[in-house]
Structure 1
Amino acid sequence: MKTNAAGIRLIQQFEGLRLAAYQDMVGVWTIGYGHTGPEVKKGLTITQQQADQLLAADLETFETGIGKAVTVPLSANQFSALVSFSYNLGLGNLRSSTLLRLLNQGDYAGAAAQFPRWDRAGGQPVAGLLRRRQAEQVLFQQGA
């Protein structure tokens, strides 16, 4: 499966676009639409085209990860909500989550209820993360 347009918009909206490397709220060097990695360092700048390419490559990584982690059927919106969740929190957090456990048991409603629980950075609640989790939850709960 591929991330749908609604999922991509959600990621772009909440990640924002920065063409110069910056440190996120927990100190991780980041660029583009929330791209991280060993090549992202202070002083790095990229173009819009490079940001779009990084996003596309990152999406493929998370799409593959969701495909391997989830064992139940997903709608396009459910899949895209999980890509956004993992894009922000990492596949490791998804794999170890109650959200994934409930989902793979077929408890879609229980899984959806887990999204808002992931609203912390550095151990502290963050209003922006709660808004993102709520948007992911809404997308997950929509049909299609």
Structure 2
Amino acid sequence: MKINAEGLELVKDFEGFRADFYNDLAGHKTIGYGHNCDADPNKCKDIKAPITQAQAEELLKTDLAKFEGHVTSLVKVKLNSNQFSALVSFTFNLGQGNLASSTLLKKLNAGDYEGASKEFGKWVYAAKKVVKGLERRREAERALFVKA
């Protein structure tokens, strides 16, 4: 399964486009739509900033493929396109390890879709402080997750 158009737009909207390198909230060297250079320093060595939105979208689609794979391997129950896309956005933002160890995943794999949807709102902290942008993102992911 692949992230759907609504999920892709959700990620793009919350990541925002940056043509030049910058440090994200966690201090990671980043470019485009949240392309994390620190995760693999070799993947940014050939990028010449500034980049275009088209280049950023290609980087994002390549990055998202990895997270689509993580969601596919971790989730053991049937998902619709919106549920899958919400989880890809969540995992792209928080990392595979956080999804893997989450109560959200445990509830989901137990077939408790409603309980899983309520877990999104717990993932709104950075440096032990609530971040308004993360609150908005988790609510958008949850809304997509529960959308028929």
Q: TM-score range by the shorter chain?
A: over 0.9
Report whether the alignment pairs 1:100 with 2:101.
Answer: no
Q: Equivalent residue for 2:76?
A: 71
**1:90-110 CA distance string (max 9 Å, x none):** 111100100001000000001
Stretches of structure 1 that go unaligned for 5 or more consecutive residues are none
Name 2:18's counterpart in structure 1: 18
- Deviation, 1:140, is 0.2
Q: Hey, what's the Cα distance between the residues in 1 that align with 2:52 and 2:10?
A: 21
2:121 aligned with 1:119: no
Show CA shifts across 1:25-64 (max 9, x none).
22111111011022458x8432223211101101111111
Deviating above 6 A after TM superposition, structure 1's stretches of 4 or more consecutive aligned residues are none
Give 1:124-139 correspondences, 5 Å limit: 124-139=129-144
Quick check: 18-27 or 74-83, which moved more? Answer: 18-27
Q: Which runs of 5+ in 2 are unaligned?
A: none
Identical columns (%): 53
Q: Which residue of 2 aligns with 1:83?
A: 88
Distance in 2, Cα, partners of 1:28 & 1:123? 18
Q: Contact between 1:30 and 1:40, CA under 8 Å: does it hold in 2? A: no
Tell me, yes or no, if structure 1 residue 142 matches structure 2 residue 147: yes
**Which moves more between the two structures, 77-86 or 17-26?**
17-26
Are residue 31 (structure 1) and residue 24 (structure 2) matched?
no
Distance (whole Å) between structure 2 residues aligned to residue 24 and residue 89 of structure 1: 13
SS at match of 1:99: helix
CA distance in 1, matches of 2:60, 2:110: 31
Give the total of aligned pairs: 142
Q: Distance in 2 between matches of 1:60 and 1:89?
A: 15
**Whole-angstrom distance in 1 between the partners of 2:102 and 2:93:** 14
Give the TM-score normalised by structure 2. 0.91
1:60 aligns with 2:65: yes
Tell me the C-alpha RMSD between the 2 structures: 1.4
